[in-house]
Structure 1
């Protein structure tokens, strides 16, 4: 605002007050044992000349708009002080004149006022107009009064109005000169603001860590992520008084446990674990302590999340389409230092489509050369079978305790897959009519009998055989012959034409077999 001359007097006073607040901060930081804080303290500018200039130029109670007057301090400009004195004394003179004329004429209800038409005037009620002296000049007649002017009144009006106009002009000029002078300090003030912003952020981190028992995270160049007793920084603050947050361990690397497949009931806390992991990594990398017992974090370049459900109706995109767009973006941009968090991918379509997509995405992430660390929360319990095929995928579940008529959520992440989602129990908790709950349980029992999840799991298991097939099934003599042809071909001496001829020869062998 100073650079564009859009700043107002009150903002300049606030700037001065802010600079004065820097003085004790600079002293504290400069005497600090921490080298980084000491450098910041030494770099802060106290701007003493700037503060003194504003203090002597502007009134401490300066208005927002310079046109309202009283912006410039008393004693800064002798001309301004003189005009202010004249303005005030002129008004005092009018009051004395009113007293004098009331005594001279005997009219006790005399009033001196002004308007935009003819300036200052003396108003006389009709009951006293016969007492008006001859030297008064009538200017206006009202229903119940008449207004007059005198030569003496006009002279003092000119002095007062002239003084007020001149006062405003001088105040504007002096304020403009101050703003112009301030421009040389723009860079210094901006540097101060940047350093104070840094200190404010660091103080916020320190207070947060102190009050909520955060720990110092060990950052290194590895690809590992090892969080012990991690907590969600927001959820733990919103819990009822006396209720502890159930902390969880998360370990991910690129060699043994690249993908954690998290299953568990609705409302058990799967999404919270995903989000807290992302927040702990993010807090660590912006320089904050983290909500955990300990944390060892290899540098992460990107945190990819596909959490929650939303649509984009204006663009004609369904919830599932938005989910697929976001997931595609993740798969196309992962690197070896990426952290991928996927929450219930494929839930927006049919069960078989969803399982197929979720399986294929998990397989892609496992087989990708970058081997990105991944947390995958899902209700597709069939995905638990992936651990038998893919050695870096591990099953975990958020545990629950099944009681007689309800389910107790323990919120603890433990090894192994989960076989139930308890969706009907969550519907009951939400207040669904008892008739609906009863009917849903009956339908679930029928579906479980007619569409055995074991049958579906067996089908999914068979996928691993398809994936592990050799390119050549050596029981087939034709493929054995083709293998011999390829193995015995010297690629280094093969010309492009010979290569095409060799390819055509292999093709003829296959076509001949097909016809037979």
Structure 2
């Protein structure tokens, strides 16, 4: 351990204890001690030992990116430590310096990123009782932030989950992440935080800039134009809603999502833009109309649309390329991609102008950049790295052209000179050779050495012959041997100049990228709208949501060939029919119907057309969903607890402008408990005015009795029954379902016939008992004779009954609970007899 090299390693490791140190030693990056053990397991490489005791593993320096990618995917940080020339020329070992710290949230290299997806680095910064939550995509230079009160932990968590950052940095207070979170946490030094208090977003930007400059050892990278996301401007979708509606992810099939259906985008920027619009639909009526107007223009100009799509196919991911430039990761071939992209944009601009589609004018500086590329760069394919092949245009730089010619033709020139000298001197043994010590030389045999021409200059005498040079050979030698050095110097000079020019146009590139992303987004929505015959909704301001023949966009897209989606009507009126109690059998389509209403509302507020025959819609502020079941065993939370916690969030946060979807609330506990809770929730919602637009799917048929309450009405999924077989018509109608057909569904699922038949018998018995109780309940008071007695004439048990009856409010108690109480009172009287 006590060797100079290991001391260097340990010094670096002490400064970076949470990273895997890639320690450069010759042609390898070596890892030692625990780093070696961890890396060997993740990378599946051989674990050896240095000095027979120090664990060690290594990878070739030229193949690092694939290994780094695997470590980053495993949530690790990589500290790249390179060899440098020592300050002391007498030093016996090379110096070493950390040149880059690669973390999951700071990567910009294409092969380390997840395709087009955003790769967020998050910052949690607390200032007194306020919290700034920032999300920076280093690969695209995007920076957005939120402002919360410290007490809004649920909203903070929802926001973090929606962005799914790969890494989160913080200063003092640890972010309120769940225990199962896979986000890499990094506490940054206090010196990153300015001493000036109350600077707000300026502090956020400063901290992020400082972290990136530290990781990249680059003072040029700074975030510009941070954008605050004000939730009053957007339709709020919490994490449960995003998950329940399967907007961007589906655990079973990644294509069966709203994003999967809408994604016809041809550019990476367009795909990212689409995902953001799904997760952050607007509440701005003018923005919605602007989206529709652009879709309408593209719809009316199909021929021009095809030309635009052809040009879009030539575009590279400008956001990420220009960001790589800013962190010193530019490649020569990037210039050709930029040139093709800007040329394609110019062509698109001409087409879009012709059809009246508003598209930003290409800045003059970017147009000039195209001309500079065309005048400067090699006409063919540009190299991946400088020096691999020509980079500059022929005729652009005289010295460069001569060096290129010398490199390409040098061998031919030497052979031509050899042939010429051999012929003119008459020395048949004459050869022109090369070695590292003498360079190029003319070699002649001992016998012919006396016949060489006078311009030959002796260079070396051998036993077998003589070696010479000549003015012409020296001239060729200089040209050939200096060619690579000249080429490298000139290419680097112009490469750096072009990189600097591109970086100076950074804002123009980002503006252009946003315009391209928006165009790609509208093209995608136009294609979907035409293929599936979606319609442009009407916007209304009275809170009403009304659909005629609405459809589920995802389910409809993936229906088997030959099947047709059954459309449905719906009107939710916050003053009258605001709360729909939806009943119907399992498998009848209740969940699909509810989800399609929510998803179509999102489409509407994205500025998309919607799958319906007609739609007249109001903007909502939030969509809440309580759909599906699941426990959280790591927290000791049962399915019912999770259900009630999500329900509590809804009841505490909804407004009159919200859209709420409840699916089978109360099913996780006993029948009476669950029914009572569901009943109370509906009453609570109905007391508001105007009322939140709500669909409440349930198997508690007793809840349909609430239809007489203000704003509550019944809907059901229709069925057709014949000869014991059930046909689910999936048609929503006004009224209530007759029964749930649960036993029939169990039979379809493969429950043994003996079980399903026995279940039918039990059901008949239960229904009979229920009817018996109902009849008794509808007769004149079962206890009327007791109530007519004088108080002093009552027995002890009769007094109990009177007291219990006095505690019952028949207008508030759920029906099944009332029936249970009647049974209880009856038992009390029977005990006396």
What is the TM-score of this pair, normalised by structure 1?
0.75
Match in the other structure for 1:402: 721
Contact 1:227–1:251 (Cα < 8 Å) also in 2: yes
| Structure 1 counterpart SS, 2:553 | coil
**Deviation, structure 1 residue 76:** 2.4
**Is 1:237 aligned to 2:583, yes or no?**
no
Say which is worse superposed, 423-432 or 370-379, in terms of deviation: 423-432
Name which of 795, 811, 814 aligns with 1:465: 811
Match in the other structure for 2:584: 264
Partner Cα separation in structure 1 for residue 438 and residue 685 of structure 2: 85
Match in the other structure for 1:482: none
Going from structure 1 to structure 2, the CA distance change for 1:464 and 1:416 (only over 3 Å counts) comes to farther
Alignment of 1:199-278 (within 5 A): 199-278=519-598
Name which of 330, 342, 358 aligns with 1:19: 342
**Deviation, structure 1 residue 78:** 1.7
Going from structure 1 to structure 2, the CA distance change for 1:61 and 1:439 (only over 3 Å counts) comes to farther
Partner Cα separation in structure 1 for residue 739 and residue 469 of structure 2: 100
Contact 1:385–1:457 (Cα < 8 Å) also in 2: no
Contact 2:551–2:611 (Cα < 8 Å) also in 1: yes
**Deviation, structure 1 residue 24:** 2.5
Partner Cα separation in structure 2 for residue 55 and residue 431 of structure 1: 70
Contact 2:691–2:711 (Cα < 8 Å) also in 1: no
| Structure 2 counterpart SS, 1:31 | helix
Match in the other structure for 1:413: 732
**Is 1:8 aligned to 2:331, yes or no?**
yes
Match in the other structure for 1:374: 694
**Deviation, structure 1 residue 44:** 4.5
**Is 1:41 aligned to 2:364, yes or no?**
no
Going from structure 1 to structure 2, the CA distance change for 1:310 and 1:101 (only over 3 Å counts) comes to farther
Name which of 637, 641, 645 aligns with 1:317: 637
Q: Deviations over 1:278-333 (max 9, x none)?
A: 12211112211111111111221111111222333333323322222221111111
Contact 1:263–1:377 (Cα < 8 Å) also in 2: yes
Contact 2:575–2:690 (Cα < 8 Å) also in 1: no
Contact 2:532–2:611 (Cα < 8 Å) also in 1: yes
Match in the other structure for 1:284: 604
Going from structure 1 to structure 2, the CA distance change for 1:244 and 1:120 (only over 3 Å counts) comes to farther
Partner Cα separation in structure 2 for residue 119 and residue 428 of structure 1: 93
**Is 1:171 aligned to 2:171, yes or no?**
no
**Is 1:361 aligned to 2:660, yes or no?**
no
**Deviation, structure 1 residue 98:** 9.4
Name which of 732, 743, 757 aligns with 1:424: 743
Contact 1:302–1:337 (Cα < 8 Å) also in 2: yes
Going from structure 1 to structure 2, the CA distance change for 1:285 and 1:464 (only over 3 Å counts) comes to farther
Going from structure 1 to structure 2, the CA distance change for 1:374 and 1:427 (only over 3 Å counts) comes to same
Match in the other structure for 2:370: 51
Contact 1:28–1:41 (Cα < 8 Å) also in 2: no
Contact 1:341–1:375 (Cα < 8 Å) also in 2: yes
| Structure 2 counterpart SS, 1:251 | strand
Say which is worse superposed, 154-163 or 190-199, in terms of deviation: 154-163
Going from structure 1 to structure 2, the CA distance change for 1:113 and 1:373 (only over 3 Å counts) comes to farther
Contact 1:335–1:370 (Cα < 8 Å) also in 2: no
Size of the alignment, in residue pairs?
A: 442
Partner Cα separation in structure 1 for residue 515 and residue 616 of structure 2: 29
Contact 1:309–1:323 (Cα < 8 Å) also in 2: yes
Alignment of 1:58-457 (within 5 A): 58-59=377-378, 60-93=380-413, 160-388=480-708, 390-450=709-769
Partner Cα separation in structure 1 for residue 346 and residue 434 of structure 2: 50
| Structure 2 counterpart SS, 1:226 | strand
Q: Deviations over 1:379-415 (max 9, x none)?
A: 1112112113x13111110111112242111000011
Q: Deviations over 1:211-237 (max 9, x none)?
A: 211111111221111111111111111
| Structure 1 counterpart SS, 2:505 | helix
Q: Deviations over 1:169-201 (max 9, x none)?
A: 321221110111223322222222212222222
Contact 2:534–2:609 (Cα < 8 Å) also in 1: yes
Say which is worse superposed, 370-379 or 161-170, in terms of deviation: 161-170
Going from structure 1 to structure 2, the CA distance change for 1:336 and 1:151 (only over 3 Å counts) comes to farther
Match in the other structure for 2:302: none
Going from structure 1 to structure 2, the CA distance change for 1:466 and 1:408 (only over 3 Å counts) comes to closer
| Structure 1 counterpart SS, 2:403 | helix
Going from structure 1 to structure 2, the CA distance change for 1:464 and 1:204 (only over 3 Å counts) comes to farther
Contact 1:27–1:41 (Cα < 8 Å) also in 2: no
Say which is worse superposed, 229-238 or 199-208, in terms of deviation: 199-208
| Structure 1 counterpart SS, 2:623 | strand
| Structure 2 counterpart SS, 1:68 | coil
Q: Deviations over 1:314-373 (max 9, x none)?
A: 333233222222211111111111111111112222222221221111111111345111
Match in the other structure for 1:504: none
Going from structure 1 to structure 2, the CA distance change for 1:178 and 1:347 (only over 3 Å counts) comes to same
Contact 1:232–1:272 (Cα < 8 Å) also in 2: yes
Going from structure 1 to structure 2, the CA distance change for 1:92 and 1:296 (only over 3 Å counts) comes to same
* Larger of the two Rg values belongs to structure: 1
Unpaired runs of 5+ residues, structure 2, are 1-322, 442-448, 450-457, 461-465, 779-807, 815-833
Partner Cα separation in structure 1 for residue 737 and residue 629 of structure 2: 23
Partner Cα separation in structure 2 for residue 214 and residue 119 of structure 1: 79
| Structure 1 counterpart SS, 2:683 | helix
Contact 1:90–1:160 (Cα < 8 Å) also in 2: yes
Greater relative CO (CA pairs within 8 A, separation 6+): 1
Going from structure 1 to structure 2, the CA distance change for 1:234 and 1:150 (only over 3 Å counts) comes to farther
Contact 2:717–2:729 (Cα < 8 Å) also in 1: yes
Match in the other structure for 2:828: none
Say which is worse superposed, 61-70 or 223-232, in terms of deviation: 61-70
**Deviation, structure 1 residue 376:** 0.8
Partner Cα separation in structure 2 for residue 158 and residue 434 of structure 1: 95
**Deviation, structure 1 residue 86:** 1.0
**Is 1:31 aligned to 2:354, yes or no?**
yes
Going from structure 1 to structure 2, the CA distance change for 1:158 and 1:247 (only over 3 Å counts) comes to same
| Pairwise CA RMSD | 4.0
Partner Cα separation in structure 1 for residue 741 and residue 541 of structure 2: 41
